[in-house]
Amino acid sequence: MKNFKGFIFDIDGVVIDNHEYHFKAWMEFAKKYNYPLDAQKYKDEFNGKTNADLFKMIFGDISKEKQKALADEKEGLYHRLYEPHMKVHKGLEEFLEFVHRRSGKVALGTSAPTENVDFILDGLKLRKHFDVIVDGAQVDKGKPDPQVYLLCCSKVGLDPKDCVVFEDSLAGLDSGKRAGCEIVGVATSHKASELRPRTDLIIHDFTEAKGLLRLS
């Protein structure tokens, strides 16, 4: 396995295993606004997308002010549901420390809003681990567009081919691949069998990461 110089992580379903809490929040939100949503539709169409993309799908063309109000409402539901259960994905901190000892660059690349990124990184004291943070406020194209991962690579000063992306969503795996990075599927939001058509590199948590990438 090649000697990667950059390690890029999505946040939802990767840094934290929070799929069920986002799903519950979206289900509450969808019920209020009479939008038909179930587990399969959420898995197929919602994971990895920006709020702006999702609100356009649900409400059509709405103002930025309305988007902001809806985003605050939905993310407020998510924070309330997830905060009592918030924890770092198993093995992640040890893996991040290992990467830093190898002088690897570490980036966070997500479509999530800044408020959610701050909620997690500061709530779990993880900000110190990331050299670069790219969130939904810095991109105008959500996954599967490669913009977020190309920006991460640019900000850490590395060619995408020297970087590996850890992703849980199908849109996210496509985004990383289209950026030219190696991709590792994290089997949280999807089963390993659902991720496998897009990558043979799959982990369930970060205790498996070093062995999978043959890092020592």
Cis peptide before 36 (omega within 30 of 0): no
Q: Is 216 exposed, middle or buried (0-12, 13-18, 19+ CB in 10 A)?
A: exposed
Q: Identify the residue whose tokens are 């959500």.
A: 142
Beta strands in the chain (DSSP E): 6-9, 105-109, 132-134, 163-167, 182-186, 202-203
Amino acid in the structure at residue 210: K
Give first-to-last CA distance, the chain, whole Å. Answer: 11
Residues with catalytic function: 10
Strand pairing of 132-134 and 163-167? Answer: unpaired
Retrieve residue 49's tokens: 């997308």
Amino acid in the structure at residue 84: P
What CA–CA distance (Å, rounded) separates 9 from 186? 10
Task: Say how many C-beta atoms besides its own lie within 10 A of residue 119's C-beta.
Answer: 19
Short-list 162, 178, 92, CA closest to 130: 92
Amino acid in the structure at residue 50: T
